Structure 1
Amino acid sequence: MPAYAGTTGTGQQHTSATPRTTGMFGSLRERNYRLFASGQIVSLIGTWMQRVAQDWLVLELSGRNPIALGIAAALQFLPTLFLSLWAGVLADRMDKRRLLMLLQGSMGLCALGLGLLDVTGLAQLWQVYVFCFVLGCFSAVETPVRQSFVVEMVGKAQVTNAVALNSMTFNLARIVGPAIAGVLITLIGTGWVFLGNFLSFAAVLTGLALMDPTRLHRGTPAPRERGQLLEGLRYVRGRPDLVMLMVLVFLVSTFGMTFFTTLAVAAANVFHQDASGYGLLSTMLAVGTLSGATLAARRSTRGRPRLRMLFIGGLVFGALEIILGAMPTYLAFGLMLIPIGMALMTFTTTANSTVQLSVTPQMRGRVMGLYMLVFLGGNPIGGPLTGWLADAFGGRAPFIAGGVVSVLATAACGLILMRRAGISLRSLLRRRTVPEAA
């Protein structure tokens, strides 16, 4: 069988004798992926700038109310609950590249609208809530499509590496974006940050437009017929290993990965910092997640991920988050975010690449839609809950509670898998996460 196999833009199979690379940056040998990654880094910097500016604008308009920040987060992630599964169906049916261009452009217009309201001094809290919800609708569709598009750009052999490099790109932007945003908010205000994000979408749109569709590794699109959503759910239900993985991801992401709310509250209400102080905390977390993504890219050269990385990452992340909640000073708190970010990336990249590799191409969009639902869909619960915890028990409480849930969930899911498979702990940690799809 040829080392490079995919389909042309017309759906016909093509091959190439080009050998597959296995280096740390092997997936960048693919021209289409290079275009995607280069556009993404610019756009993601703008996205993280907006993330910080949006949080700070909500705090300013609400009188630094952590519950308001939780509501904004919930509204932005709420559409995931009812759109991500259908987005997976669209991803299996349609041209993912063209669909991504439409969705990215729409997200850019959201940044433009909010920016114009802010710079003209007309922005009100309810308007920010509306834009959070509208942006969340587009993001809920875009994320599963983008996730399932990765394997089309690089092929099956490089998908683990590409997932890790995507995480590196995401977290490099997470370092640069908040740092820039913190300075710009102090100097010129939040509105111009939103407008800067609008301009950044030109980079990713240009990258998508310049791709060569004939070099995409496309499978046969799913036909348009009824029951495709239920078919995807039945497929996952018939895979107990995937069900358990998604339950674990849901619990850890909903209750442990709440930094979009908790860091702003900790900066403002616990350590009494301004916007630049919040931006610095986000940057410290991103330093850790970038380091974790880099290690994941190096591990990808050794083959498929194992359960060891998934469970170790979850346990260490939860334990460190508990310690984070007890850090006495702003400096100690910020430094602790670095190892937390590394453990977080170990957990998330292992889970993501496992799902990508273990499903058939015809089901990948729908399964990734479900994966993104459990990964992000808990935020409408976690956002208000962490806001309430911070308001009732102080800004440290959400970190401690989230860490406890993460540790217990990881341990419980591991024990359930051991019991169902009838294997020892040593065997569980040595085996691969799930069987690779044919």
Structure 2
Amino acid sequence: MQKTAVSWLVYTLTGSALLLGIVSFVSLIPSLILAPYAGSIVDRHNRYRILVITQVVSMLQAGALAFMILFKCYNISAIIGLSLIQGIINAFDITCRQSLMVDMVDDKADLPNAIALNSTMTNLARIMGPAIAGIVLGIFGEDACFFGNFLSYIPVLTCLFMMKLNTPVSIKSEKSIWAELQDGFKYVSGDRDLSSLIFMLTITSLFVIPFNTLMPIFAKDIFNGDAKTFSWFESAAGLGSVISAVYLANLKNNKHLVNIIAVAGLVLGLSVLLIAYAVKLPIALIIMVFTGIGMMAQTSAINTYIQTHTIPAMRARAISYYVMAYQGMIPIGSLMAGWLANEVGPRNAVCTEGVIGVLATAAFVVYKKRTDKDFHTFSIKSMLAKQV
């Protein structure tokens, strides 16, 4: 609800696509800068305690924003500042939350399903939040959305304090944070499967996913709607994400994750390309469902692959690069999308992002086929050499 309210408030007050991009930029850019550092911190300390701390600080940030809007202090600079603080918190919170999931699942064979179920929960909120926000914005105003977010941390913290987790005892590392940062980078870059997936996600987050930044413009200016119309766009994408997450949650194994990632990338790129020139609102909303399907399938499948193919000692650091590629690149892409929309118009900007998505997926498929072929050839030569 807060995300929807902030986007709508900023665009209503300023009418600027660039400022929409800036707000998204500052809320996510800390993940690009701080995620690897956060991964090293999480690997060295108790993940549960870190999560409690991030939730308490998030509640304080939400409260500050709620009271500022309650007293009609519509200060764009302050909104940007508080969005930046939330981004800093999230850099640690998301890395910690993702790596803690492994400690919550007793049977590791269930981990892919647990990750997908977690995505389902998140995207149910993506459907319900914007839908409720559209109604609340029209009846009660922005402050009700912000106070709803502030008060929601009470049950969140209550649930956290009720949890009984057997988290592993942290062994204090003799290495410096900088040394552990280097170890994490060497581990990820040295694994061509991990590095290729993270690079693929980087391109998607930088050039494709930021199309969402321009949806308030589509809702308000192109389709002559209001806050409720904007919430429909968010909810449609959320619905697609839930459909995708439910499918992933029912997978019996994770043997075909790379194929799912490739197909999902193509679905996302094509749907973004199509929505650029949708002429009717119902058609645009249907296409938005497919953007949610593609985006969720790709990001969740990459997350699952990293979680299940990374050694425990490097898990948080590997996840931090996932967070950096996903959350960290979106703000830069949002700025680029806002600038491009100002230069060539929102439809042409979204069309460009869709084309890049399709081309990036094609390049990924070609790369995987080539590397798999090289690996197969190398394996045959090694077997022959051993026989000789």
Please state which band the TM-score falls in when normalised by the shorter chain: over 0.9
The equivalent of 2:213 in structure 1 is 261
Q: For 1:35-434, what aligned pairs fall within 5 Å after superposition?
A: 49-62=1-14, 64-155=15-106, 156-214=108-166, 216=167, 218=168, 221=171, 223-226=173-176, 227-299=179-251, 301-422=252-373
Deviation at 1:424, TM superposition (A): 11
- Residue 108 of structure 1 and its aligned partner are, at CA, apart by 1.4
Distance of aligned partners of 1:354 and 1:219 in 2 relative to their CA distance in 1, 3 Å threshold: farther
Q: Is the 8 A contact 1:270 1:395 kept in 2?
A: no
> Runs of 5+ in structure 1 lacking a partner?
1-48, 428-438
The residue matched to 1:377 in structure 2 has which SS?
helix
Q: Distance in 2 between matches of 1:219 and 1:152?
A: 12
How far is the alpha carbon of 1:404 from its aligned partner? 1.1
Structure 1 counterpart of 2:386: none
What are the Cα deviations for residues 358-388 of structure 1, in whole angstroms up to 9, with x where unaligned? 1111100111111100111112311111111
CA deviation after TM superposition for structure 1 residue 260, in Å: 4.1
Alignment check: 8 A CA contact 1:418 1:424 kept = no
Asked if structure 2 preserves the Cα contact closer than 8 Å seen for 1:164 and 1:297, the reply is yes
Q: C-alpha distance in 1, partners of 2:375/2:69?
A: 58
Contact 1:167 1:349 in 2 (8 A): yes
Counterpart AA for 2:21: G
C-alpha distance in 1 between matches for 2:16 and 2:232:
21
Matched-pair contact (CA < 8 Å) for 1:61–1:124:
no
8 Å CA contact 1:79–1:136 kept in 2: the answer is yes
Give the whole-Å Cα distance in 2 for the aligned partners of 1:72 and 1:397: 22
Structure 2 CA distance for aligned equivalents of residues 329 and 359 of structure 1: 45
- Classify 1:418/1:272 alpha carbon distance in 2 versus 1 (closer, same or farther; 3 Å): same
Moved more, 253-262 or 116-125: 253-262
Asked if structure 1 preserves the Cα contact closer than 8 Å seen for 2:44 and 2:170, the reply is no
Paired residue total? 374
Residue 220 of structure 1, CA deviation:
5.9
Q: Distance in 2 between matches of 1:151 and 1:221?
A: 18
Letter in 2 for 1:277: T
Give the distance between the partners of 1:181 and 1:110, measured in 2 at CA. Answer: 19
SS of match in other structure, 2:250: helix
Of 289-298 and 408-417, more deviation after overlay is shown by 408-417
Deviation at 1:219, TM superposition (A): 7.5
Q: Distance in 1 between matches of 2:348 and 2:174?
A: 48
Whether the 8 Å contact between 2:257 and 2:302 is mirrored in structure 1 is: no
Partner of 2:385: none
User: How far 1:286 sits from its partner (Å)?
Assistant: 0.8
Asked if the contact 1:160/1:304 (under 8 Å) is kept, the reply is no
**For the structure 1 residues 414 and 287, does the alpha-carbon distance in structure 2 shift closer, same or farther, using more than 3 Å as the test?**
same
CA–CA distance in 2 between the matches of 1:250 and 1:397? 22
For structure 2, the residue ranges without an aligned partner over 5 or more in a row are 378-388
In 1, Cα distance between the equivalents of 2:273 and 2:248? Answer: 24
Give the deviation of 1:423 after TM superposition: 5.8
Aligned-partner SS, 1:78: helix
Q: Which amino acid aligns with 1:164?
A: A
Counterpart residue identity of residue 225, structure 1:
K
| Equivalent in the alignment of 1:37 | none
Q: Distance in 2 between matches of 1:291 and 1:221?
A: 40
Q: TM-score, normalised by structure 1?
A: 0.82
Q: What is the alpha-carbon root mean square deviation over aligned residues? A: 1.8
Question: How far off its partner does 1:203 sit?
Answer: 2.1
Between the aligned residues of both structures, percent identity stands at: 30
Q: TM-score, normalised by structure 2?
A: 0.92
Contact 2:219 2:229 in 1 (8 A): yes
SS at match of 2:5: helix
- Structure 1 residues 236-245 or 150-159, which shifts more? 150-159
Report the CA distance between 1:179 and its aligned residue.
Answer: 0.6
Counterpart of 1:23 in structure 2 is none
**How far is the alpha carbon of 1:317 from its aligned partner?**
1.4
